[in-house]
Amino acid sequence: MHLRLVSRRRGVKLVALIAALAGCSSTGGATADAGGEAGLSPSAVQTVDDLTLGLAVATALSAPLAPDGALVQTDPPGTSDATTQGHAAHGFSGSSVVTPQSCAKYSWSKLTATVTLTGCTLEANGMPVSGTVSLGVTARPTAFTVTFTGLTVGTSTFGGHVAITISGTKAMPSPPTLDVDVTYASGGKSEQLTATGLTVTTTATSIAISGDAKLTSGGTSTSLTATGLTWQTGQCLPSSGTVKMSGSTVPTSTITFLATTPMDGKVTVQIPPLPATTQKLFTPCP
């Protein structure tokens, strides 16, 4: 009996040591077993889910506007408002932020439109969206600002704004950049996601972002760096890229999204100094 008790105590000490190395606190963030594998606590998993949702929606509401923004950027001085409005509308519901094209109704005042969305889907990630947004266009440098209050995306309600800026030229192209300040409810609490100067990459079948952001909820915050975080068109979860994060409820860790993540919800999680493990953190996409 004494030997078993000593063995059990040693096991507990080993778990505590591993948890400490992984940045675990008494309030959660990381968990570890005696085999040396670290995972995220339930609160940390919820934070990962919250920030991924915020990034997905902010990117889907803005990144698809980039190709039409490049057209606005290269239009000659004196281009009519009607032409610029056409580019913006095509980027928002043609090429496009939302689908089908007919789900968006525009009311223009110069270069600002009130857009009413009924029965729409965010084309980038397949999430249903409804409500009203303001779409503003600046010609030089070209920027689209999407502002919203009470916008329903899936089962969450979003407020705030996203702005994508296209400042390059044909001779000296530069990637679009994205600024984000959105609030939304997720996991039973209010979240605020902010970012400045995220780099945006778009192709015919995907959108991607890289850069720093911060998620704030109550008195806690999580800092994150996304690298090549990529959504294939219509997928609710990224299928490649990484998010490195740290905060009061999340240990310093790196989440790597896989080609199969949208189908099975699994990613790799690496919490230094322990090796990466594959874990299911997300509900698979419909």
pLDDT of 237 above 60: yes
Lowest mean pLDDT among 21-35, 45-59, 191-205: 21-35
Query: Domain ranges in the chain?
Result: 41-219
Q: Of 18 and 258, which is predicted with more confidence?
A: 258
Q: Which neighbouring-strand residues pair with 159?
A: 183
Looking at residue 30, what is its pLDDT? Answer: 53
Looking at residue 141, what is its pLDDT? Answer: 85
Do 143 and 166 form a contact (C-beta atoms < 8 A)? yes
Looking at residue 13, what is its pLDDT? Answer: 34
pLDDT of 34 above 80: no
pLDDT of 240 above 90: yes
Kindly state the helix (H) or strand (E) to which residue 183 belongs, with its residue range: strand 177-186
- Over residues 56-87, the pLDDT tens digits come to 999 999 999 999 999 998 899 899 999 999 99
Alpha helix locations (H) across the chain? 2-21, 42-60, 66-74, 81-93, 261-264
Percent of the chain exceeding pLDDT 90 equals: 73
Do 170 and 160 form a contact (C-beta atoms < 8 A)? no
- Over residues 87-107, the pLDDT tens digits come to 999 999 988 999 999 999 999
Do 210 and 49 form a contact (C-beta atoms < 8 A)? no
Confidence band, pLDDT 50/70/90 cuts, at residue 170 = low
Percent of the chain exceeding pLDDT 70 equals: 85
pLDDT of 21 above 60: no
Give just the sign of the alpha carbon dihedral 174, 158, 257, 94.
negative
d(CA 31, CA 251): 10
Q: What angle do CA 83, 63, 210 make, to 5 degrees?
A: 145
Residue 117: strand, helix, or coil:
strand
pLDDT of 255 above 90: yes
